[in-house]
Amino acid sequence: MSTNRRSFIRNIAIGASASVATAIPEQGYSSLIEKTPAAFNMCGFAAPKIPLVRIGIVGLGQRGPGAVERMSFIEGVEIKALCDKYPDRVSKAQEILLKAGLPKATEYSGEEGWKALCESNDIDLVYVTTPWHLHTPISVYAMKNGKHAASEVPAAKTVDECWELVETSEKTKKHMMMLENCCYDFFELLTLNMARNGMFGEIVHAEGAYIHDLTKDYLFDKNGYADMWRLKENITRNGSLYPTHGLGPIAQCMKINRGDKFNHLVSMSSNDFTMGAMANELAAKDDFFLPYANKNYRGNMNTTTIRTDLGKTLMVQHDVSTIRPYSRIHLVSGTKGTASKWPGPERIAMGHSWVKPEELKALYDKHTLPIVKHIGDIAKNVGGHGGMDFIMDWRLIDCLRNGLPLDQDVYDAAAWSAVGPLSEASVKNRSKSMDVPDFTRGAWKTNVPHDLTLAGGGNTTVRELKK
């Protein structure tokens, strides 16, 4: 469905009931969109094999250089292009390739350098690590220009952007994967396999979070995020701005989009008790922070609860501005067992008490996935959040090279990302219930979970690591 058609339906729905439109923005039209047939079902889609995956990486600030380095270790990859708004960042990324003994990449820079990169004829995959507002525009433009897209999280900032990603991927038959690295952390992969093997029974409830104090070292750091873009996100929006790190792994355990789907959510935020005060304190000492003083910042803690079509529940929290130990919670609770990661140590219960360390080791031995056995130790040596970043990148490349479906498809990117804007709408309206669109248009009833057994793949090698 075109953007114009989508807007037309939304306007009709809003006009039909002014009170509903005021209370629940973006609500009235999503169910109508769901009734339109999909152009193609991308769940389980296997694109033609790409023996040598030529990559263009866009965004070389916080996340991009790490992606360049990780990809430099993977055979069957050629980093053909590097792009950033700032030319000096591109030059620094070139040094990573030089150090690895790899050819120099084509350089793109400026506000819209990414468009020329997407239009080039020597790229198969556009890897997006920019500020959030560019994730959807770049991914869509890449797919429309014949490239697969992989985007940092969240993949979209609005429900309309989620639909745009889905519609473009279906029409172009190009992959759009959200780079949710936490789905590839070791305990998350263990619990995913245990869930699929029925070890937890029927999963009834799960919890995830992104609790990470970013204030001093990132949000208010002049040399942190370019143009202070992430601090600005916390001024202009109030909700679960960054839900997918905690949500992605538990959504996979609960077979979301592949046997169940998100139905509706409610969301609530606390007031802000730290960011506004910090901005005012810094502004009193440094004029640089004056534009960020005396603003209404996002509430410190947001809690969002989601109910699925099968009557299961998820709880997702977001807090980047209070002093708490890091946590993504990762709790999976079923009729036969429970798993919990934070606060540590990692724990599994098959009754009313946590199993003993030796029993936990036996569960690891039995249920560790082939992908971890195959590449896990190498990933830990390469690095990237303990190795999960490298497992994610290696797996993405291995799937593209072998013509395999991706672990995370565009429907996952859309459903997980949509929690952000829907939580904002709920918070604005005294925690009103918000319907979550069915981006699969009913295909979730027959879609099957993705395969992590390495069947048909696993042959992508890694360059020898320099000690």
Q: Residue 311 carries which DSSP code? A: S
How confident is the prediction for the chain on average, in pLDDT?
93
The residue segments making up the domain with residue 331 are 182-369+407-445
CA 106 to chain centroid: 27
DSSP SS3 for 171: helix
Task: Give the single-character DSSP code of 216.
Answer: I
* Whether residue 211 sits in one domain with residue 250: yes
Q: Which of these three, 180, 197, 215, is where a domain ends?
A: 180
Within a domain: 159: yes
Q: Which amino acid is at 371?
A: I
User: Encoding tokens for residue 170?
Assistant: 């279906």
Per-residue pLDDT tens for 330-353? Answer: 999 999 999 999 999 999 999 889
Do 88 and 148 sit in the same domain of this protein? yes
Task: Clarify whether residues 64 and 171 are in a common domain.
Answer: yes
Residue 76 pLDDT > 50, yes or no?
yes
pLDDT (tens digit per residue) in 112-165: 999 999 999 999 999 999 999 999 999 999 999 999 999 999 999 999 999 999
- Nearest of 84, 42, 52 to residue 67 by alpha carbon: 84
Return the half-sphere exposure (C-beta side, CA atoms, 13 A cut-off) of residue 441.
Answer: 17
Q: How many angstroms separate the CA atoms of 442 and 445, rounded?
A: 6
Is residue 105 domain-resident?
A: yes
Do residue 267 and residue 345 come from a single domain? yes
Q: Check whether residue 240 and residue 348 sit in a common domain.
A: yes
For the chain, the distance separating the N- and C-terminal CA atoms, rounded to the nearest angstrom, is 52
Residue 453 lies in a domain: no
Strands 125-128 vs 176-178: parallel, antiparallel or unpaired: unpaired
pLDDT tens digits, 155-196: 999 999 999 999 999 999 999 999 999 999 999 999 999 999
Q: What percentage of the chain's residues is helix, strand, coil (to nearest 5)?
A: 45, 15, 40
Does some domain include residue 380? no
| pLDDT recorded at residue 34 | 59
pLDDT tens, 219-260? 999 999 999 999 999 999 999 999 999 999 999 999 999 999
Residue 264 lies in a domain: yes
pLDDT tens by residue, 270-317: 999 999 999 999 999 999 999 999 999 999 999 999 999 999 999 999
- Decide if 381 is inside a domain: no
Is residue 97 within 8 A of residue 103, CB to CB? The reply is yes
Based on the domain organization, do 87 and 209 belong to the same domain?
no
At 15-37, the pLDDT tens digits run: 333 333 333 444 443 444 555 78
Average pLDDT over residues 362-382: 97
Q: Do 11 and 61 have their domain in common?
A: no
**Amino acid 13: pLDDT:** 36
Q: What is the CA radius of gyration of the chain?
A: 22
> Do 17 and 128 fall within a single domain?
no
Query: Does the residue 300 lie in any domain?
Result: yes
**158 and 233 fall within a common domain:** no
% the chain with pLDDT above 90:
90
CATH number of the domain within which 259 lies:
3.30.360.10
User: Does one domain contain both 169 and 192?
Assistant: no
When divided into structural domains, the chain yields a total of 3
Does residue 441 belong to any structural domain of this protein?
Answer: yes
Q: Which of 130, 151, 180 is the last residue of a domain?
A: 180
Distance (Å, whole) CA 73 – CA 255: 32
Of 37, 48, 86, 50, nearest to 65 by C-alpha is 86
For residue 28, which phi and psi values (nearest 5 degrees)? -70, -25
Does 121 lie in the same domain as 107?
yes
Looking at 180, 206, 230, the residue that finishes a domain is: 180
Q: Which tokens go with 297?
A: 């910042």
**Are residues 169 and 299 both part of a single domain?**
no
